[in-house]
A and B are shown apart, each in its own frame.
Chain A
Protein backbone atom coordinates (compact mmCIF):
# COMPACT_ATOMS: atom_id res chain seq x y z
CA UNK A 1 0.00 0.00 0.00
CA UNK A 2 1.45 3.35 -1.05
CA UNK A 3 1.89 5.92 1.68
CA UNK A 4 1.04 9.62 1.68
CA UNK A 5 2.94 11.40 -1.07
CA UNK A 6 3.81 15.07 -1.27
CA UNK A 7 5.48 17.36 -3.74
CA UNK A 8 7.66 19.23 -4.07
CA UNK A 9 10.05 18.00 -1.38
CA UNK A 10 11.82 21.35 -1.16
CA UNK A 11 11.00 24.94 -2.09
CA UNK A 12 13.02 28.15 -1.78
CA UNK A 13 11.25 31.46 -2.31
CA UNK A 14 11.77 35.16 -1.97
CA UNK A 15 9.31 37.00 0.25
CA UNK A 16 6.15 37.88 -1.65
CA UNK A 17 6.29 34.89 -3.96
CA UNK A 18 3.54 32.29 -4.14
CA UNK A 19 3.94 28.53 -3.73
CA UNK A 20 1.68 25.49 -3.87
CA UNK A 21 2.10 22.18 -2.12
CA UNK A 22 0.42 19.02 -3.32
CA UNK A 23 -0.64 15.96 -1.33
CA UNK A 24 -1.94 12.56 -2.34
CA UNK A 25 -3.31 10.68 0.69
CA UNK A 26 -3.41 6.94 1.18
CA UNK A 27 -6.05 5.45 -1.12
CA UNK A 28 -9.39 5.13 0.64
CA UNK A 29 -8.57 7.59 3.43
CA UNK A 30 -11.37 10.12 3.70
CA UNK A 31 -9.68 12.54 6.14
CA UNK A 32 -6.72 14.70 5.15
CA UNK A 33 -4.70 17.06 7.34
CA UNK A 34 -2.19 19.82 6.65
CA UNK A 35 0.32 20.67 9.36
CA UNK A 36 3.04 23.29 9.62
CA UNK A 37 6.16 22.18 11.51
CA UNK A 38 8.62 24.99 12.28
CA UNK A 39 12.17 23.94 13.03
CA UNK A 40 12.53 22.33 16.47
CA UNK A 41 8.78 22.39 17.13
CA UNK A 42 5.93 19.92 16.89
CA UNK A 43 3.49 19.84 13.98
CA UNK A 44 0.74 22.45 14.20
CA UNK A 45 -2.56 21.75 12.47
CA UNK A 46 -3.50 24.25 9.78
CA UNK A 47 -6.60 22.70 8.22
CA UNK A 48 -8.28 19.35 7.75
CA UNK A 49 -10.86 17.86 5.42
CA UNK A 50 -13.34 15.05 5.46
CA UNK A 51 -13.77 14.14 1.82
CA UNK A 52 -13.99 17.52 0.06
CA UNK A 53 -15.40 19.42 3.05
CA UNK A 54 -13.28 21.61 5.31
CA UNK A 55 -13.82 20.49 8.91
CA UNK A 56 -11.58 23.01 10.64
CA UNK A 57 -9.48 25.79 9.14
CA UNK A 58 -9.37 28.01 12.20
CA UNK A 59 -5.56 27.93 12.34
CA UNK A 60 -5.07 28.71 8.65
CA UNK A 61 -3.86 32.30 8.04
CA UNK A 62 -6.73 33.01 5.68
CA UNK A 63 -5.31 36.18 4.22
CA UNK A 64 -2.43 34.33 2.56
CA UNK A 65 -3.06 30.60 2.90
CA UNK A 66 -5.69 28.53 1.15
CA UNK A 67 -6.36 24.81 0.90
CA UNK A 68 -8.66 22.76 -1.30
CA UNK A 69 -9.57 19.13 -1.79
CA UNK A 70 -12.07 19.38 -4.65
CA UNK A 71 -12.72 15.69 -5.32
CA UNK A 72 -12.08 14.39 -1.84
CA UNK A 73 -8.78 12.81 -2.82
CA UNK A 74 -5.71 14.96 -3.58
CA UNK A 75 -5.25 18.31 -1.88
CA UNK A 76 -3.38 21.54 -2.56
CA UNK A 77 -2.14 24.02 0.03
CA UNK A 78 -1.20 27.43 -1.37
CA UNK A 79 0.64 30.37 0.14
CA UNK A 80 -0.22 33.50 -1.79
CA UNK A 81 2.52 35.86 -0.62
CA UNK A 82 5.15 34.08 1.42
CA UNK A 83 6.82 35.64 4.45
CA UNK A 84 10.05 34.62 6.19
CA UNK A 85 7.94 33.42 9.13
CA UNK A 86 6.39 30.80 6.84
CA UNK A 87 9.72 28.95 6.75
CA UNK A 88 8.86 25.47 7.98
CA UNK A 89 8.14 21.94 6.86
CA UNK A 90 4.59 21.43 5.60
CA UNK A 91 3.28 17.98 6.40
CA UNK A 92 0.26 16.27 4.95
CA UNK A 93 -1.35 13.37 6.81
CA UNK A 94 -4.36 11.17 6.23
CA UNK A 95 -6.52 8.83 8.27
CA UNK A 96 -8.91 6.10 7.20
CA UNK A 97 -12.03 7.75 8.52
CA UNK A 98 -13.08 10.86 10.38
CA UNK A 99 -13.14 8.92 13.64
CA UNK A 100 -9.95 6.95 12.99
CA UNK A 101 -7.19 7.96 15.36
CA UNK A 102 -4.06 6.95 13.49
CA UNK A 103 -2.73 9.62 11.17
CA UNK A 104 -0.17 8.66 8.56
CA UNK A 105 2.23 11.42 7.57
CA UNK A 106 3.79 12.13 4.22
CA UNK A 107 7.48 13.07 3.79
CA UNK A 108 6.74 16.80 3.95
CA UNK A 109 7.76 19.84 1.92
CA UNK A 110 10.59 21.92 3.35
CA UNK A 111 9.97 25.58 2.62
CA UNK A 112 12.61 28.28 2.99
CA UNK A 113 11.51 31.87 2.49
CA UNK A 114 14.44 34.26 2.05
Chain B
Protein backbone atom coordinates (compact mmCIF):
# COMPACT_ATOMS: atom_id res chain seq x y z
CA UNK B 1 0.00 0.00 0.00
CA UNK B 2 1.53 3.25 -1.14
CA UNK B 3 1.31 5.68 1.75
CA UNK B 4 1.91 8.86 -0.25
CA UNK B 5 0.29 9.33 -3.66
CA UNK B 6 0.86 12.08 -6.17
CA UNK B 7 -1.13 13.31 -9.13
CA UNK B 8 -0.89 13.99 -11.95
CA UNK B 9 2.12 11.95 -13.09
CA UNK B 10 2.95 14.69 -15.55
CA UNK B 11 1.75 18.25 -16.02
CA UNK B 12 2.38 20.80 -18.75
CA UNK B 13 1.57 24.49 -18.28
CA UNK B 14 2.39 27.67 -20.17
CA UNK B 15 4.77 30.23 -18.80
CA UNK B 16 2.92 32.54 -16.42
CA UNK B 17 0.22 30.02 -15.49
CA UNK B 18 -0.23 28.44 -12.05
CA UNK B 19 0.80 24.81 -11.81
CA UNK B 20 -1.05 22.70 -9.24
CA UNK B 21 0.48 19.47 -7.99
CA UNK B 22 -1.46 17.19 -5.67
CA UNK B 23 -0.58 14.76 -2.93
CA UNK B 24 -2.59 12.52 -0.59
CA UNK B 25 -1.54 10.33 2.30
CA UNK B 26 -2.83 7.44 4.38
CA UNK B 27 -1.09 7.61 7.74
CA UNK B 28 -2.87 9.99 10.11
CA UNK B 29 0.26 10.23 12.28
CA UNK B 30 2.15 12.08 9.52
CA UNK B 31 2.86 15.62 10.71
CA UNK B 32 5.52 16.99 8.38
CA UNK B 33 4.99 17.46 4.64
CA UNK B 34 7.83 18.68 2.45
CA UNK B 35 8.02 19.15 -1.29
CA UNK B 36 11.31 18.41 -3.04
CA UNK B 37 12.21 19.21 -6.62
CA UNK B 38 14.66 17.30 -8.76
CA UNK B 39 16.19 18.56 -12.00
CA UNK B 40 17.43 16.04 -14.57
CA UNK B 41 20.70 14.50 -13.48
CA UNK B 42 20.59 16.14 -10.08
CA UNK B 43 19.55 15.05 -6.60
CA UNK B 44 16.33 16.09 -4.84
CA UNK B 45 16.41 19.42 -3.02
CA UNK B 46 13.96 20.77 -0.46
CA UNK B 47 11.64 23.40 -1.92
CA UNK B 48 9.09 24.13 0.81
CA UNK B 49 7.51 22.28 3.74
CA UNK B 50 4.52 22.54 6.07
CA UNK B 51 3.43 21.25 9.45
CA UNK B 52 -0.33 20.94 9.98
CA UNK B 53 -0.50 23.63 12.65
CA UNK B 54 -1.22 25.75 9.59
CA UNK B 55 -3.20 24.99 6.42
CA UNK B 56 -1.12 27.23 4.19
CA UNK B 57 2.56 27.96 3.72
CA UNK B 58 3.95 30.49 1.24
CA UNK B 59 7.45 31.08 -0.02
CA UNK B 60 7.61 33.44 -2.96
CA UNK B 61 5.81 31.85 -5.91
CA UNK B 62 5.41 28.52 -4.09
CA UNK B 63 2.44 27.79 -1.80
CA UNK B 64 1.40 24.63 0.00
CA UNK B 65 -2.29 24.18 0.81
CA UNK B 66 -3.02 21.54 3.44
CA UNK B 67 -6.32 19.78 4.24
CA UNK B 68 -5.95 17.59 7.32
CA UNK B 69 -9.51 16.25 7.22
CA UNK B 70 -9.11 14.94 3.69
CA UNK B 71 -5.43 14.00 4.16
CA UNK B 72 -4.46 16.01 1.11
CA UNK B 73 -1.98 18.73 0.35
CA UNK B 74 -1.02 20.53 -2.82
CA UNK B 75 1.76 22.66 -4.20
CA UNK B 76 0.81 25.73 -6.23
CA UNK B 77 3.49 27.33 -8.38
CA UNK B 78 2.36 30.77 -9.42
CA UNK B 79 3.69 32.54 -12.53
CA UNK B 80 5.39 29.35 -13.69
CA UNK B 81 8.72 29.76 -15.44
CA UNK B 82 10.51 27.39 -17.86
CA UNK B 83 13.21 27.05 -15.19
CA UNK B 84 10.62 25.45 -12.92
CA UNK B 85 10.52 22.42 -15.23
CA UNK B 86 11.55 19.50 -13.03
CA UNK B 87 10.16 16.50 -11.17
CA UNK B 88 8.40 17.42 -7.95
CA UNK B 89 8.12 14.95 -5.08
CA UNK B 90 5.87 15.30 -2.07
CA UNK B 91 6.82 13.45 1.08
CA UNK B 92 5.61 12.91 4.62
CA UNK B 93 6.95 11.85 7.98
CA UNK B 94 5.61 11.23 11.47
CA UNK B 95 7.18 12.56 14.63
CA UNK B 96 7.27 9.03 15.97
CA UNK B 97 9.44 8.03 12.99
CA UNK B 98 11.68 11.04 13.20
CA UNK B 99 13.48 11.69 9.96
CA UNK B 100 11.89 8.81 8.09
CA UNK B 101 10.47 10.42 4.94
CA UNK B 102 8.03 8.57 2.70
CA UNK B 103 8.07 9.98 -0.83
CA UNK B 104 5.49 9.93 -3.58
CA UNK B 105 6.45 8.90 -7.10
CA UNK B 106 6.68 12.41 -8.43
CA UNK B 107 5.03 14.76 -10.90
CA UNK B 108 7.00 15.77 -13.96
CA UNK B 109 6.31 19.45 -14.59
CA UNK B 110 7.01 21.03 -17.95
CA UNK B 111 6.61 24.78 -18.35
CA UNK B 112 6.41 25.88 -21.98
CA UNK B 113 7.59 29.36 -22.94
CB-CB contacts below 8 Å: A43-80 with B: 43-45, 48, 55-56
B42 contacts partner chain A, Cβ-Cβ < 8 Å: yes
* Residue in B49, B93, B102, B106 whose CB lies within 8 Å of A41: B106
B1 contacts partner chain A, Cβ-Cβ < 8 Å: no
* Bound-complex Cα distance A96 to B44 (A): 17
Mark A79-114 against chain B: 1 for CB-CB distance below 8 A, else 0: 000000000000100010011111111111000000
Cβ contacts under 8 Å, A106 to chain B: 43
Give the number of chain A interface residues (Cβ < 8 Å): 24
- Interface residue SS majority, chain A: loop
Cβ contacts under 8 Å, B89 to chain A: 42-43
B interface residue count range (under 10 / 10 to 19 / 20 to 34 / 35 or more): 20 to 34
Are the C-beta atoms of B105 and A40 separated by less than 8 Å?
yes
CB contact under 8 A between A105 and B98, given known A40-B106, A41-B106: no
Are the C-beta atoms of B99 and A42 separated by less than 8 Å?
no
Cβ contacts under 8 Å, A40 to chain B: 105-106
Cβ contacts under 8 Å, B46 to chain A: 102-104
Are the C-beta atoms of B100 and A56 separated by less than 8 Å?
yes
B101 contacts partner chain A, Cβ-Cβ < 8 Å: yes
Cβ contacts under 8 Å, A31 to chain B: 99
* Bound-complex Cα distance A104 to B43 (A): 9
B26 to chain A, nearest CB (A): 15
* Bound-complex Cα distance A98 to B89 (A): 22
* Bound-complex Cα distance A98 to B100 (A): 10
Are the C-beta atoms of A105 and B43 separated by less than 8 Å?
yes
Cβ contacts under 8 Å, B98 to chain A: 98-99
Are the C-beta atoms of B103 and A43 separated by less than 8 Å?
yes
Cβ contacts under 8 Å, A45 to chain B: 100-102
Q: Which residues of A contact B (CB under 8 A)?
A: 31, 33, 40-45, 48, 55-56, 91, 95, 98-108
Q: Which residues of B contact A (CB under 8 A)?
A: 4, 32, 34, 42-46, 49, 89, 91, 93, 97-106
Residue pairs across A and B with Cβ atoms less than 8 A apart, 7 shown, are A43-B103, A44-B103, A55-B99, A101-B32, A101-B99, A105-B45, A108-B43
